[in-house]
Chains A and B, each alone.
Chain A
């Protein structure tokens, strides 16, 4: 009772990274709260899940193995979590801010009347005072996220309702094995006790899932462009620089919204979170929602015509100038000086 639950996303019998990252965070929170970490796997062919997740410090693994539960559909997985949460009464429930988690989370929170905060960039434990009611709440989950298009950062709490639910995007939390020999308990549930036939109202006719060719997340160097790049054509310059220095091209949300490049390249709270050894930000002003996704880069270079762009304050190197002028020179002098 009152433990921390993580919903596992599973594709072809393999637990997705985002879930392992959440387990890592969940373990740390459980240690702080002195409670257990539990994980929920619903799908089919789940015999390897235990081996995959126990090293992250999972104390109890709930298995719901049924062919009809894979691939994911909204209602059956909702039914499982709602009933399980009513039985187990978790204090915290975490899931990925992915296509699955953002479909499932709100539905579960509505059924349980528990608050849900989307796309958190940090989760902490702390106390909360409701001054009006003169009440103090101990050890709440602080759900921290940029809000309002990334212009402010909000800390959200759920004082009275349980579980406290939050979604987190892939890459935001770090994935770290707790103990390779850690072994928890496995509880195999009977899915038919949780899911009814009516829950299969939406059926999958066709499905093509492919691993993306664009891999911004694991690139050691990223050349990212913002709205200040001005056009799709100017984005081509970024690709040239990236090809020269062995980098991947990223983008801010404003650049993606403006149609300069693909959505897969979006870095920030509503895109991917990256930690490269070098981040070259071109024409990016530095809204919080972007900075949240790249501030842990080892070295940051900002190329911006505005010497006062917010991103310059976190940059190690600031080049004040037009990206169109600066980037070709960077290419030229890299080629000239590299051995």
Chain B
């Protein structure tokens, strides 16, 4: 049985190794100083999708991402690794969306993509760590969800069997299609880019990118290079439910935390100093 699979992926600032210039003086985040990457767990999700494509001939994997125009990189990255196509959902009206407004927009885009068997996404994105968008998209589509997946073991007879990784153990569950699955970082890493696919898709572009790059009618000659690009109107999204106005949560305050400084005793790494410290800790019964 061939499968239609949608992978939800997000371009995120790499928050894992934040340098000193990542914060502006006013305490806000300097996004420009952080490299934009494919959200790590979304890559785990892509791999699960590609494995299903390998084992179910004629299946398709479609990337769906929401973000600024440069997020088209995520679709190209997916194509280089084996995805079949993708859509970028981009519109200023989406700005300031919380997880609920984001899932609203994504679920409208999923409806526009059309029939699907599985939606697979990473468990959470590293810039928010909420793990909310996956389940919320599932709820809005009225389909079941399986979160914390480590392996999609099989898909047949209209059912997916999935191994979940929980805090203190594992669960094997079976769910009816169509289904949304979120994948953990403990799942296998994504396969690398494929050289042939890079050759094939390196000029893949959205319509706006193609217009800016003046590639002439390349996209018309090779339609597979055309990446989908949708605005809120294209996916019939109600503007009231998008972006800030569609977000029940509001950010009241952002702070750069200044730690409550303690008066600390300083030591260097010489033998004498370390011995002094250990003796002090033993004498005041902190250790031993």
Q: B-contacting residues of A (Cβ < 8 Å)?
A: 71, 73-75, 78, 98-99, 102-103, 105-107, 109-111, 113-119, 128, 130, 142-143, 147-161, 201-212, 221, 227, 245-246, 253-254, 257, 263, 269-270, 277-278, 286-288, 291, 295, 299-302, 307, 310, 312-322, 325-326, 329-330, 333-334, 336-339
Contacts and interface: CB of A to CB of B under 8 A. Distances in A.
Nearest to B40: A257
A319 B135 contact: no
A315 B136 contact: no
B166 to A, nearest CB: 5
B144 A201 contact: yes
A110 to B, nearest CB: 4
A110 B139 CA distance: 7
A118 B132 contact: yes
B171 A153 contact: no
A245 to B, nearest CB: 5
A118 B173 contact: no
Given A99-B167, A155-B252, A302-B264, 10 more contacts: A74-B146, A103-B147, A106-B133, A107-B145, A154-B254, A205-B161, A206-B171, A211-B168, A221-B287, A326-B274
A229 B171 CA distance: 34
B69 interface: no
Interface stretch (B73-81, B123-131, B203-211): B123-131
A337 B282 contact: yes
B286 A299 contact: yes
B170 to A, nearest CB: 6
Q: Is the interface of A mostly helix, strand, loop or mixed?
A: mixed
24 contacts: A74-B147, A106-B131, A107-B145, A128-B252, A148-B15, A152-B23, A154-B251, A155-B253, A157-B252, A201-B176, A209-B166, A209-B168, A245-B288, A300-B262, A313-B261, A313-B264, A319-B273, A319-B274, A321-B268, A329-B269, A330-B278, A334-B288, A337-B279, A339-B288
A78 B138 CA distance: 12
Given A209-B166, A211-B168, A333 B99 contact: no
Contacts of B277: 301, 317, 319, 330, 333
B100 A110 contact: yes
Contact of B250 (A114, A119, A159): A159
Contacts of B168: 209-212
B247 interface: yes
Contacts of A288: 257
Given A106-B131, A155-B253, A157-B250, A314 B259 contact: yes
Contacts of B29: 148, 151-152
Contact of A109 (B100, B172, B288): B100
Given A152-B29, A153-B254, A317-B265, A209 B278 contact: no
Given A118-B129, A156-B249, A334-B278, A201 B288 contact: no
Interface string B188-210: 00000000000000000000000
B160 to A, nearest CB: 9
B262 to A, nearest CB: 6
B269 A149 contact: no
B262 A315 contact: yes
A202 B250 CA distance: 34
B239 interface: no
Contacts of B132: 102, 105-106, 109, 116, 118
B17 interface: yes
B174 interface: yes
Contacts of A295: 259
B185 to A, nearest CB: 8
B103 A110 contact: yes
B241 to A, nearest CB: 9
B267 A318 contact: yes
A105 B135 CA distance: 9
A210 B170 CA distance: 9
Given A156-B250, A157-B250, A254-B17, A329 B100 contact: no
B253 A154 contact: yes
A245 B282 CA distance: 10
B27 interface: yes
A80 B259 CA distance: 42
Interface in B4-20: 13, 15-18
B136 A106 contact: yes
Given A107-B136, A114-B248, A314-B260, A208 B169 contact: yes
A149 B16 contact: yes
B271 interface: yes
Contacts of B261: 313-314
Contacts of A128: 250, 252
Contact of A119 (B130, B135, B249): B130
B15 A333 contact: no
Nearest to B132: A106
A118 B256 contact: no
A74 B171 CA distance: 13
A304 B170 CA distance: 37
B148 interface: yes
Contacts of B138: 107
Nearest to B160: A202
B256 A254 contact: no
A156 B249 CA distance: 6
